[in-house]
Amino acid sequence: MMRSDQRHVWGVLLAGAAALSGAGCKKEQPATVDAGVAAVAVVDAGTRGVDAGTVANGGKPLRFSNVGLQRAEDGRVTVTYTLTNPGTAQAREKVCLMLLDAHELAIEVGGLGSITVKGGLEDTFEDRAYVDDLKWNQVRSLRLFTTAANDYCSDTPIKPASEPFRMLPTGAPAPADLPLPDPPPASLAEDFEVSGLQLRQAGTPEGPSLTFTVKNVSDHRASGAGCLRAYAQEGSRALEEVEVGEFDLAPKASSTQTAPVAFHRARHWEEATVLRFFVGPYGCVMSEGAGGPGHPVTLPEKAGSEEVHHDAE
């Protein structure tokens, strides 16, 4: 029997990526059962007719197989997989995808959708997610797992209801004998240290740009974006604010970036007497005040002046 399900799709939090919709093709057929399942049926008999996604409920954990993974140039990641329910009770669970870095730390974890697999059967699904280049270029392995219907993929600690499946970014399976790490905690402004601020003035062929180095000084992964604010004078309300650069860093890692600065009104370059650079988990949103007074950036007096440099303390 074949039917189509509308699948839930997750996107990266930093970019606020638009959700992509995908159709899940679900097929139901008798699963291959080994000799030990007859004995398992006696244990599972009391849970027939209820959600049995966890071993605590008497169910057998679901198993992933026939997993495929493909990422397109636009960041869309297509995941196909088969889930086998070796128990006798129907399982209703959430499917989760975790991205891991070279140190087996979670970069991000999100839900692919909700699934239902009848006891003794297997179903095949296809889901889509969005992962931007900033994160994908750091991915060294991925994990597929399910959680109970009432849990969240990002719960800490994670409570997997299935046997986790580990794979490489190529889609090839990898040894899965490593424990699932916790999702990364919420990033804070104090997780980041900024240095090497350098403003390239307007009038260059590329236009205004800011170079900076940001370091994650915490003991966990942290992500965020920079925000440059221009003020007419100290203590006044900002004339302009614009996000400059983004980063997702392992503990103690750093990134040096040169990003364009595009004010909405060019005249604000002439009106501004103070520039300050902030970093935080949400860029310009909620960054002023949360990370202190920001890092001062010397503003040239006129377009075409020499490049200026300031090392933030």
Residue 228 dihedral angles phi and psi, to the nearest 5° = -105, 130
What is the number of other CB atoms lying within 10 angstroms of the CB of residue 229?
Answer: 21
pLDDT at 290: 53
pLDDT at 35: 32
pTM: 0.75
Q: Which parts of the chain sit beneath pLDDT 70?
A: 1-59, 202-206, 287-292, 301-313
**How many helices (H) and strands (E) would you count in the chain?**
3, 18
pLDDT at 177: 77
**Percent of the chain having pLDDT more than 70?**
73
pLDDT at 291: 54
Tens of pLDDT, residue by residue over 60-101, are 899 999 999 999 999 999 999 999 999 999 999 999 999 999
Q: Name every residue whose Cβ is closer than 8 Å to that of residue 278 and which is 6 or more positions away in sequence.
A: 189, 226, 227, 228, 229, 284, 287, 288, 291, 294, 295
pLDDT at 201: 77
Residues paired with 111 in a beta bridge: 96
* Contact criterion met (CB below 8 Å) for 66 and 81: yes
**Separation in Å, CA 290 to CA 124, 142, 152:** 46, 33, 28
pLDDT at 312: 41
